[in-house]
């Protein structure tokens, strides 16, 4: 976990930094947001920025977005600070506000929430145990690894697992989603650029290769990379040398490459969409992650893990899965894999009304039992008369909770869920976004859309 502290913080900066260091974080201090932005441009990467409320947090976040620097921002200030400044920081995109003097438990909680590192994986199913054994053998080596599997199977989580088990675990883990960056900007993201290299390049920027020096670079969804850029990537991997855009000078890098793809790269090679030499360079070792339907023994442990995780995040009591809910989860085909299961359990822990998570709280698509499920599962219709043993609509537990959603447009259901969650958090945008599993920016966009449509939106609270 890498923490950047920005500002003076009324003398509390050393105390906050000391607490973070005790919790295992690597701490960088910058006097102001301009110095912080320059440090980030030059490869001083961080996972979280703790920013003094007196700094222009809104501008800092806009600058980060403009330069595609991904870092969570937390505002902080002494207890006597104007509360309106804290609210504005949240509205400008800060993830949270921390009062000072710093509280050790609160600092630890923020660091834990911001950290994405995972050293353990749930692998009760035999299919996943075999994959994990292979990952454990591969991790200590310097071999390039290609991780494949359907969308939502946990390819980035596996990448972090390999990094944490490797000899480079104390180095940086830098991830770049090749599908999320426009084609004309991806080269700059990878290799960096010099000032004036192109329109908008107002300062030198260090690329992901240099950020990941002596660590691990994950190239997520590498199959989306343009063939012209693939040649430059191949050179960087083979020669361990990169050249910033707008420069002729070579820069040596020491990086281990991990790559992921949800496509069949061999077929992409046959079609001429992906370079064969790059494919073989990446595919030194291959880990294929099974779909969730292929590891049924992990469905319930994962579901309980996510239920506990979001119960803690939302400040509600942890609940076990009921027998009916468990059976419902096991029979579902999980086309969205682990990502779909996580979202399902996030919703479930919020709306569950019983001491255990009831079947009606497991909100799944209407076609859940129409034949796409695990072969051994018998199909069952989703209707008012669904059999009680699978927890369908019409059972005695919380009757009508799911029925109310059937037949309604998805956009209407989403709108009601967002507005109800805001009511639940008394208008606190940050808490509502955390509960819904979306960014504060996405939530604001949705609320602005609803306002434009003439729908009443709960007023923002300072919360």
* CATH architecture observed for domain 293-407: Orthogonal Bundle (1.10)
User: What pLDDT does 380 receive?
Assistant: 34
Q: Is the per-residue pLDDT at 115 higher than 70?
A: no
The listed range with the strongest mean pLDDT (268-272, 289-293, 335-339) is 289-293
From residue 368, how far is each of 297, 364, 385 by CA, in Å?
A: 19, 7, 15
216-220: strand order across its sheet: 173-177, 216-220, 256-261, 145-148, 285-288
Q: Is the per-residue pLDDT at 373 higher than 50?
A: no
User: What pLDDT does 290 receive?
Assistant: 96
User: What pLDDT does 117 receive?
Assistant: 43
Strand partners, 241: 252
From residue 152, how far is each of 159, 226, 327, 413 by CA, in Å?
A: 13, 23, 22, 23
Which spans in 141-282 are helix H? 155-164, 183-191, 208-211, 227-239, 265-270, 276-282
Q: Crossing angle, helix 57-66 and helix 83-91, to 10 degrees?
A: 10
Higher per-residue pLDDT: 241 or 5: 241
User: What pLDDT does 370 receive?
Assistant: 36
Confidence of residue 405 (pLDDT cuts 50, 70, 90): low
Q: Is the per-residue pLDDT at 391 higher than 60?
A: no
User: What pLDDT does 406 receive?
Assistant: 59
What stretches of 46-86 adopt beta strand conformation (E)? 48-52, 72-78
CATH number listed for the domain at residues 2-114: 3.40.50.2300
Q: Which residues of 395-434 are buried (b: 16+ CB within 10 A; e: fewer)?
A: bebbeebbbebeeeeeeeeebebbbebbeebebbbbbbbb
User: What pLDDT does 42 receive?
Assistant: 75
Higher per-residue pLDDT: 307 or 181: 307
Q: Are residues 123 and 132 in contact, defined by beta-carbon separation less than 8 angstroms?
A: yes
Higher per-residue pLDDT: 172 or 362: 362
Q: Which residues of 438-449 are buried (b: 16+ CB within 10 A; e: fewer)?
A: eebeebeebbee
Q: Is the per-residue pLDDT at 287 higher than 90?
A: yes
User: What pLDDT does 112 receive?
Assistant: 63
Q: Is the per-residue pLDDT at 229 higher than 60?
A: yes
User: What pLDDT does 289 receive?
Assistant: 96
Q: Parallel, antiparallel, or unpaired for β 250-252 and 96-100?
A: unpaired
Q: Crossing angle, helix 429-436 and helix 337-351, to 10 degrees?
A: 130
* CATH architecture observed for domain 126-290: 3-Layer(aba) Sandwich (3.40)
Q: Are residues 46 and 71 in contact, defined by beta-carbon separation less than 8 angstroms?
A: yes
- Mean pLDDT, residues 206-213 taken together: 92
Q: Are residues 156 and 260 in contact, defined by beta-carbon separation less than 8 angstroms?
A: yes
For the chain, give every domain's residue range: 2-114, 126-290, 293-407, 413-452
Out of 72-76, 167-171, 175-179, 435-439, least confident range: 435-439
Higher per-residue pLDDT: 306 or 44: 306
Q: What is the mean pLDDT of the chain?
A: 82
Confidence of residue 97 (pLDDT cuts 50, 70, 90): confident
- Mean pLDDT, residues 397-420 taken together: 66
CA distance 198 to 463: 43
Q: Which residues of 343-376 are buried (b: 16+ CB within 10 A; e: fewer)?
A: bbbbbbbbbbeeebbbbbbbbbeeebbeeebeee
Q: Is the per-residue pLDDT at 201 higher than 90?
A: no
CA distance 139 to 58: 40
Tens-digit pLDDT profile for residues 230-256? 999 999 999 999 999 999 999 999 999
Q: Is the per-residue pLDDT at 81 higher than 60?
A: no
User: What pLDDT does 361 receive?
Assistant: 94
User: What pLDDT does 366 receive?
Assistant: 54
CA distance 417 to 420: 5
CA distance 368 to 424: 29
CATH number listed for the domain at residues 413-452: 1.10.10.60
Q: Do domains 126-290 and 293-407 have the same CATH topology?
A: no
Tens-digit pLDDT profile for residues 374-387? 333 333 333 333 33
Q: Cis ω on the peptide bond leading into residue 432 (within 30° of 0)?
A: no
- Mean pLDDT, residues 79-85 taken together: 66
User: What pLDDT does 462 receive?
Assistant: 47
The listed range with the strongest mean pLDDT (7-16, 191-200, 440-449) is 191-200
* Burial class for 288, CB neighbours closer than 10 Å (0-12, 13-18, 19+): exposed
């Amino acid at each position: 976990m890498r923490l950047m502290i920005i500002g003076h913080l009324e003398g509390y900066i050393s105390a906050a930094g000391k607490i973070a260091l005790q919790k295992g974080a690597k701490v960088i201090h910058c006097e102001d947001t301009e110095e912080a932005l320059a440090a980030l441009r030059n490869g001083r990467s961080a996972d979280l920025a703790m920013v003094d409320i007196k700094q222009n947090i809104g501008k800092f976040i806009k600058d980060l977005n403009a330069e595609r620097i991904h870092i969570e921002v937390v505002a902080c200030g002494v207890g006597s600070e104007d509360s309106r400044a804290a609210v504005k920081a949240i509205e400008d995109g800060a993830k949270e506000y921390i009062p000072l003097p710093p509280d050790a438990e609160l600092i630890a909680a923020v660091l834990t929430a911001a950290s994405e590192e995972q050293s353990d994986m749930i692998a009760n199913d035999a299919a996943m145990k075999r994959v994990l054994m292979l990952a454990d053998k591969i991790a200590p080596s310097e071999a390039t690894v290609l991780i494949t599997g359907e969308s939502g199977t946990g390819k980035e989580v596996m990448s972090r697992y390999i990094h944490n088990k490797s000899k480079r675990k104390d180095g940086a883990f830098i991830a770049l989603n090749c599908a999320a960056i426009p084609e004309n900007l991806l080269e700059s993201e990878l290799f960096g650029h010099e000032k004036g290299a192109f329109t908008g390049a107002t300062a030198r920027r260090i690329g992901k290769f240099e950020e990941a020096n002596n660590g691990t670079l994950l190239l997520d969804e590498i199959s989306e990379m343009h063939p012209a850029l693939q040649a430059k990537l191949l050179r960087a991997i083979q020669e361990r040398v990169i050249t910033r855009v707008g420069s002729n000078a070579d820069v040596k890098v020491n990086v281990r490459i991990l790559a992921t793809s949800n496509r069949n790269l061999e077929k992409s090679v046959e079609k001429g969409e992906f370079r064969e030499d790059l494919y073989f360079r990446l595919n030194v070792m291959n880990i294929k992650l099974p779909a969730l339907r292929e590891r049924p023994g992990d469905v319930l442990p994962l579901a309980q893990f996510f239920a506990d995780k979001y119960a803690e995040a939302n400040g509600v009591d942890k609940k076990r899965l009921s027998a009916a809910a468990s059976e419902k989860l096991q029979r579902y085909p999980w086309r969205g894999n682990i990502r779909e299961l996580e979202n399902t359990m996030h919703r479930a822990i919020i709306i569950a009304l019983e001491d255990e998570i009831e079947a009606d709280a497991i909100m799944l698509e209407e076609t859940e039992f129409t034949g796409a499920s695990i072969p051994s599962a018998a199909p069952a219709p989703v209707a008012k008369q669904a059999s009680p043993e699978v927890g369908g609509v019409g059972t005695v537990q919380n009757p009508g909770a799911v029925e109310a959603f059937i037949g309604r447009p998805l956009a209407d259901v989403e709108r009601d869920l967002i507005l109800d969650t805001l009511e639940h958090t008394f208008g606190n945008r940050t808490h509502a976004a955390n509960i819904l599993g979306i960014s504060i920016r996405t939530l604001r966009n949705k609320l602005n859309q609803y306002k434009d449509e003439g729908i009443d939106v709960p007023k923002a609270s300072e919360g």
